[in-house]
Structure 1
Amino acid sequence: MFGASEYGVDIEISTEAVDRLVAVTPGDVDPAPELSFARNVFIPLTTACRYTCTYCTYYDSPGNASLLSPAEVREICERGADAGCTEALFTFGDDPDDRYTEIHEQLSAWGHDSIHSYLREVCGIALECGLLPHSNPGDQTREQMARVADVNASMGVMLETTAEVAAHGGPRSKAPGQRLATIATAGELGVPFTTGVLVGIGETLRDRAESLLAIRELHERYGHVQEVIVQPVVENERWGGGSPDLATMRRVTAMARAALPENVSVQSPPNLAPVEQLLDCGVDDFGGVSPVTGDHINPEYAWPALSELEEIAERAGVPLAERLPVHERYVSGAWLPERIEAAIEADNRAGRRYRALL
């Protein structure tokens, strides 16, 4: 199903399970008893990407793509640490291919044979600055993920949808099966993982149900999915296809809450979604919010101030807690690599912020 078997992943979802999830409405789920967020710095390592999705403003064409230097990464991390951030969110387009000659030449000049080799170096810079890396490198092979897993507190990739949609179309199209294989690889390697669905790119209600059930099946297999983002596509300079309406977002958010185990968070990004109107649909997390950097994937949509999140939680009558980029059950559950455990323990011994968050 979904072409996943082509990439070595077998996923079977029954028609009855899809029917049950499609029937879920906001009235079938309960509001979360609390809300959480992570304080991060957003580090767009490179804007080179093998894909050319029609809704994405993140990627740049060959000759125009950027690549942050180690010095630039360190400066961003230091600003984040000074602002009390705990997470260094590394993003870049899926494994840049041979079209990006200048990017590859620069990586080679810095002593790297791939973007993943470079990612390992900059994750080390983040750790030196007192931040926990959370990397979103897109589709990854087992070898690529294993190369950086031990320097990341958690990782992620958006599934987006299991459907074949025109927004992914063309000769450089994303393959749902490959995305599912990346999520499965994280489970095999024991990496706490964030994924999600992108709503409004041409998928149907049943496609959304199938996507959520596919995520659930992989989590049941490995136990590694810490949160699932329900994100609307938004208008931008490359996407004029509109955004899903409030009723759609409420329905899909409720479906996510119903589909997933209780300990898997349902995240709604507060700069993209009408979060206050979604809280009764089971949202319990706002994801990473930065007091230092913008959302480089959606630059036209600014983060809300942390005080705004506090006000939303207060109006909802629930507490708002700051969390690490890796959720608490993975910190205490022997999931983390030694280097990440050591970073948290060192910060605890110094009496700084990680202890206060756990």
Structure 2
Amino acid sequence: MIPGAAEYDVEVSIAESEVERLLEVTPSDVEPAPELSFCRNVFVPLTTACRYTCTYCTYFDPPGQASLLSLEEVRDICRRGADAGCTEALFTFGDDPDDRYTQIHDQLADWGYDSIHEYLRAACEVALEEGLLPHSNPGDQTLEQMAEVADVNASMGVMLETTADVDAHAGPRRKLPGQRLRTIRNAGELDVAFTTGILVGIGESWRDRAESLLAIRELHERYDHVQEVIVQPVANNERWTDGSPGLETMRRVTAMARVALPEEVSVQVPPNLAPARDLVDCGIDDLGGVSPVTDDHINPDYAWPALDELEAVAEHADVPLRERLPVYERFLPADLRSAEFDGVLADGVDGRAEQASDADGRTWLSPTICRALEADDDAGGRFRATLE
């Protein structure tokens, strides 16, 4: 039983035979992807408050020390990102930060906001005004919290990390995998294009890794909403000194992810944390969001690679490097897809993509996001250029 699954009313059935199959996977069982993609973004750490105290995380600050960006600061970051050609505003904060941090709650109240999600909505609207597509990763969310911000986001995300109960999640408010799975399910119920992933090296076993990937797959097969799965190694920092997983571990777990997941779900490794050059033959097809403007505020000791470094990874793999939007093309309305992508659909390579956007009138992107994509301005031109 996955810890917290019953408490959060999440039903996930994982077949033992599928676990055993994944445990036998090696890099030789997968084919390299025909191309690599990445997204140009700005990182907007809305607040450094979090109700959790995971032992590997340097993102959160203790109560009394946590910061909260003003909307003016958000606008400045987004404006610099747009000027640098970015398409994504990546909003992050810890889980329910106004629940444990009275200072953050009081600051929000002073600014006229009842909750951090109400404030996140205002921040996403600022990003849209500055010509960026919001992608929010605000930790665990109830259905009501996610619904409050879904229509002003092109996509959203949360890392599952693991379905195991690990000591790295220790603390007075222990992170429960069932709650993370509920957040992924909530995204499916709201038709939100979603990013999730596993964190490798925090005390989980190989069986735990297989079960985590299969849990993600089951929820995706139920809702068809997961766009990418990140395979991220834990990294040494001032709070975590137990080391990172070795290269052979990363090669094997990356191949396992590629075998576990449907073809339309991308497998991503963060190039500032993982040895991407040594993983391109293990099935990865995406290098994630990379910023020419801001730091990786979750992993500040590990700088983003420059574009020429990503190009070097692609050159090493002898595949093209393509820029993408924060929402994958299969979730776009048909009239916004590139001609190349429509050609893929016509060839029948990815019939699920056509179904995802068109069948039964299902709509992935809100009118707000579609208007931003279709805008006849610098931002709209930048988005369309990325798709071409």
Q: Which of the five TM-score ranges fits, normalised by the shorter chain?
A: over 0.9
Deviations 1:251-290 (A, max 9, x none): 0000000000111000000000000000000000001000
The 3-state SS of whatever aligns with 1:4 is: coil
Matched, 1:337 2:337: no
Deviations 1:37-84 (A, max 9, x none): 000000000000000000000000000000000000000000000000
Aligned to 1:117: 118
Segments of structure 2 that go 5 or more residues without pairing to the other structure are: 334-356, 358-362
Deviations 1:181-225 (A, max 9, x none): 000000000000000000000000000000000000000000000
State whether residues 374 and 380 of structure 2, in contact with CA within 8 Å, keep that contact through their aligned partners in structure 1: no
Q: What code does the residue aligned with 2:157 have? A: G
The 3-state SS of whatever aligns with 2:162 is: coil
CA distance in 2, matches of 1:125, 1:351: 16
Q: What code does the residue aligned with 2:81 have? A: G
CA distance in 1, matches of 2:379, 2:10: 44
Deviations 1:103-124 (A, max 9, x none): 1111001110110000000000
State whether residues 348 and 354 of structure 1, in contact with CA within 8 Å, keep that contact through their aligned partners in structure 2: no
Instruction: Between 215-224 and 165-174, report the one with greater CA deviation.
Output: 165-174
Aligned to 2:158: 157
The 3-state SS of whatever aligns with 2:97 is: coil
TM-score of the two chains, using structure 1 as the length reference: 0.98
Aligned to 2:276: 275
Deviant stretches of 4+, over 6 Å: 348-351
State whether residues 98 and 116 of structure 2, in contact with CA within 8 Å, keep that contact through their aligned partners in structure 1: no
State whether residues 87 and 132 of structure 2, in contact with CA within 8 Å, keep that contact through their aligned partners in structure 1: yes
Aligned to 1:233: 234
CA distance in 1, matches of 2:377, 2:225: 25
State whether residues 310 and 320 of structure 1, in contact with CA within 8 Å, keep that contact through their aligned partners in structure 2: yes
Q: What code does the residue aligned with 1:339 have? A: T
1:301-320 alignment, distance < 5 Å: 301-320=302-321
Aligned to 1:295: 296
Aligned to 1:148: 149
Aligned to 1:203: 204
Deviations 1:10-63 (A, max 9, x none): 001011110001110000000000000000000000000000000000000000
Aligned to 1:244: 245
CA distance in 2, matches of 1:151, 1:350: 16
Give the superposition deviation at 1:354.
Answer: 1.2
Aligned to 1:69: 70
Pick closer, same or farther for the CA change 1:347–1:226 going to 2, 3 Å. farther
Pick closer, same or farther for the CA change 1:87–1:347 going to 2, 3 Å. farther
Give the superposition deviation at 1:356.
Answer: 1.8
Give the superposition deviation at 1:170.
Answer: 2.5
Pick closer, same or farther for the CA change 1:235–1:345 going to 2, 3 Å. same
Aligned to 1:126: 127
Percent identity, aligned pairs only, is: 75
Deviations 1:209-252 (A, max 9, x none): 00000000000000000000000000000001110000000000
Q: What code does the residue aligned with 2:386 have? A: L
Pick closer, same or farther for the CA change 1:179–1:318 going to 2, 3 Å. same
CA distance in 1, matches of 2:279, 2:79: 34
Aligned to 1:218: 219
Pick closer, same or farther for the CA change 1:191–1:168 going to 2, 3 Å. same
State whether residues 25 and 255 of structure 1, in contact with CA within 8 Å, keep that contact through their aligned partners in structure 2: yes
Segments of structure 1 that go 5 or more residues without pairing to the other structure are: none
TM-score of the two chains, using structure 2 as the length reference: 0.91
Aligned to 1:346: 375
Aligned to 2:343: none
The 3-state SS of whatever aligns with 1:140 is: coil
CA distance in 1, matches of 2:6, 2:262: 25
The 3-state SS of whatever aligns with 1:195 is: strand
1:19-30 alignment, distance < 5 Å: 19-30=20-31
Instruction: Between 109-118 and 328-337, report the one with greater CA deviation.
Output: 328-337
CA distance in 1, matches of 2:99, 2:34: 49
CA distance in 1, matches of 2:327, 2:305: 22
Pick closer, same or farther for the CA change 1:242–1:355 going to 2, 3 Å. same
CA distance in 2, matches of 1:4, 1:259: 21
Aligned to 2:59: 58
The 3-state SS of whatever aligns with 1:352 is: helix
CA distance in 2, matches of 1:82, 1:354: 13
Q: What code does the residue aligned with 2:383 have? A: Y
Deviations 1:139-192 (A, max 9, x none): 000010000000000000000000000000132110000000000000000000
State whether residues 270 and 286 of structure 1, in contact with CA within 8 Å, keep that contact through their aligned partners in structure 2: yes
Aligned to 2:345: none
CA distance in 2, matches of 1:55, 1:230: 16
Q: What code does the residue aligned with 2:185 have? A: A
CA distance in 2, matches of 1:351, 1:281: 35
